[in-house]
Amino acid sequence: MAAVSNAPPRHVAIVMDGNGRWAQRRHLPRIAGHKKGVDALKRVVKLCVARGIGVLTVFAFSSENWNRPEEEVSGLMELLALALAREVKPLAEEGVRLRFIGDRNNLSQRLKDGLSQAEQATASNERLLLNVCFNYGGRWDVVQAARQLADTGQEITESALSSMLATAHCGDPDLLIRTGGEMRLSNFLLWQAAYAELFFSATLWPDFDEADLDAAIQAFGARERRFGLTSAQLLTGAAG
């Protein structure tokens, strides 16, 4: 049988985990790890542009992360504000379109304005779509989609529900990477990851580099994506 060789993933999603441990190993405050995490994201965005990946969706702050110590939560809010002030322009210059995904209700007015401005300023860019999931949870997403669907009175089907999800503009991820060694989704893209290829990397997110990304893309290339079919069906292209 021929070795599997998939085209590179169109849509890559990443749970950027391990910032806290990266800092603690260096006897630094956890927020220092989150700052390095922003640098890692900038690096990975550039690599994705270079690799021709169309969509990158990253998990930056979960619905459950509010339960962390007050100091860490406020530090993360500050870091988002700082990144909005500093990084939108260079990202726009690289052709990146930014979208923020998640519940904005609990965010400060300043942050809400910053997110909308960043989206507007980059709306016409087409090189890479970068979805930043902030105050996002997969369960929140399914519930908000179900609510919208109920309001429209439409028939409840998989495609109707998908069209109301926060990722309706970009579809489902092909490859989902989690860094930091944990092997769980932690409430990320629960519906959308139904057929994503999963890749777990032991590298802590601030250290995630070109070799780590390429290892994930290479592993993806060798996976047989069967979507419920048999290998024989895939080979002959005769489904059903």
Position among 9, 12, 13, 20 found at the interface with ligand IPE (CB under 6 A): 20
Binding window for ligand IPE (CB under 6 A); candidates: 5-13, 120-128, 180-188, 192-200: 180-188
What is the largest distance, in Å, between two alpha-carbon atoms of the chain?
A: 58
AA identity, residue 178 = R
Query: What three-state secondary structure class fits 191?
Result: coil
Rounded-to-integer distance, Cα 3 and Cα 121, Å: 44
115-174 positions binding ligand IPE, by CB under 6 A: none
65 binds, among ligand IPE, Mg ion, none (CB under 5 to 8 A by kind): ligand IPE
Position among 9, 11, 17, 174 found at the interface with ligand IPE (CB under 6 A): 17
The answer to whether residues 48 and 4 touch, using CB atoms and an 8 Å cutoff, is no
Q: Is 197 in the site for Mg ion (CB under 5 A)?
A: no
Q: Write down the least CB distance from residue 95 to Mg ion, Å.
A: 31
Contacts of 135 (CB under 8 A, 6+ apart): 61, 62, 63, 66, 102, 103, 104, 106, 107
Binding window for ligand IPE (CB under 6 A); candidates: 78-86, 87-95, 106-114, 176-184: 176-184
Rounded-to-integer distance, Cα 55 and Cα 58, Å: 10
Position among 11, 19, 40, 84 found at the interface with ligand IPE (CB under 6 A): 19
What is the end-to-end Cα distance of the chain in Å, rounded? Answer: 21
Q: Is 172 in the site for Mg ion (CB under 5 A)?
A: no
Q: Is 180 in the site for ligand IPE (CB under 6 A)?
A: yes
75-104 positions binding ligand IPE, by CB under 6 A: 76
Strands 175-178 and 11-15: parallel
Binding mask 91-110 for Mg ion (x = CB under 5 A): --------------------
In the annotation, is 17 catalytic?
A: yes
Q: Give the active site residue among 6, 19, 65, 103.
A: 65
E-assigned strands of the chain?
A: 11-15, 55-62, 96-101, 128-136, 175-178, 197-200
Binding site for ligand IPE (CB under 6 A): 15-21, 59-62, 65, 76, 180, 182, 184, 186
